[in-house]
Amino acid sequence: MYHFFPGKTIFSVGGIGCNLRCKFCQNYEISQTGPEEFFGLTAASPEEIIKLASKREDNIGIAYTCEPTVWFEYMLDIAELARHNNLKNVMITNGFINPKPLTILLDIIDAFNVDLKAFNEDFYKKQTSSQLKPVMENLKKIRKSGRHLEITNLVITNKNDNEKEFKQMVDWIEGELGPDTVLHISRYYPVFKMDEPQTPEKTMMRFYEIASEKLTYVYLGNLHSTKGQNTYCKRCKQLVVERSGYPATSARGLSEYGNCSNCHINIVQS
């Protein structure tokens, strides 16, 4: 979440299981299993989670990860308590959720990072056992709600690395969600049931260039490169957030309210 309180700490809560069956899942040890096979679970009540999250003074809230839609009720219980304790709620999700529960979450979740795994229905069906259209509708619904939104796209060799298709996805993001929508382009490595070679660096750089033509904030992930890491002001181009890998090492170009310190335009939520 590069544009949501950069440089701050957030407490992550996750469980096991998922409503998708991605053949390339990077968290398959916990997402593609159940309580009978996984022995690393720790029981914690919502009250205990709030207590743990509140221990660090620099912690802004709680991030619900490793598909929180499958433990929707538990997430909701924690999120309601978090709000009463002045903690932010962040959801890291595949976006494949029914309209009614999403509407409930929009009242209490402050920020979303949604995996847009491809821009192809056939890919979603064969590689994830789900559908693209509901994810697209949910992204529009999140944007319309005014909640903070960032998107992650994992580029997989020979599966969703078609340049024309990627351009269509970027055009859709620009047109339906807005050019300031944050897009993270992540490099794939062989894992789980997917043995395609790792995404070539030149593909990542090309996709970064394509996305940057239409979108203001584009980042590269899982790549050993300084390109696509830092945040620059869209107006005056000042460096506002400097990163080394994922962590922010400096946010000297930002005011306390998330504005550029030079031209004062808003860049992040802070």
Is 246 a residue whose pLDDT tops 80?
Answer: no
Secondary structure letter of residue 245 according to DSSP? S
Is 225 a residue whose pLDDT tops 80?
Answer: yes
Interior angle at CA 76, CA 75 and CA 81, nearest 5: 100
Is 180 a residue whose pLDDT tops 80?
Answer: yes
pLDDT digits (tens, 9 = 90+) for 107-140: 999 999 999 999 999 999 999 999 999 999 999 9
Between 54-58, 78-82, 199-203, 260-264, the lowest mean confidence (pLDDT) is in 54-58
Rounded CA separation 136/123 (Å) = 14
Phi/psi at 12 (5° precision): -95, 140
Handedness of CA 245, 246, 249, 252 (dihedral sign): positive
Rounded mean pLDDT of 196-200? 98
pLDDT band at 42 (very low <50, low <70, confident <90, very high): confident
pTM (2 d.p.): 0.96
Q: What is the pLDDT of residue 35?
A: 84
The burial class, CB within 10 Å (0-12 / 13-18 / 19+), for 239 is: middle
Q: What is the pLDDT of residue 193?
A: 97
C-alpha separations of 269 from 4, 147, 246, 259 in Å? 5, 11, 17, 9
Nearest alpha carbon to residue 234 among 158, 182, 177: 182
pLDDT band at 226 (very low <50, low <70, confident <90, very high): confident
Residues facing 184 on adjacent strands? 152, 219
Contact status, residue 154 vs residue 24, Cβ threshold 8 Å: yes
Residue type for 121, please? Answer: E
Contact status, residue 182 vs residue 139, Cβ threshold 8 Å: no
Nearest alpha carbon to residue 215 among 174, 245, 164: 174
**Helix (H) / strand (E) containing 111:** strand 111-115
pLDDT digits (tens, 9 = 90+) for 148-169: 999 999 999 999 999 999 999 9
Residue spans of alpha helices (H) in 201-240: 201-214
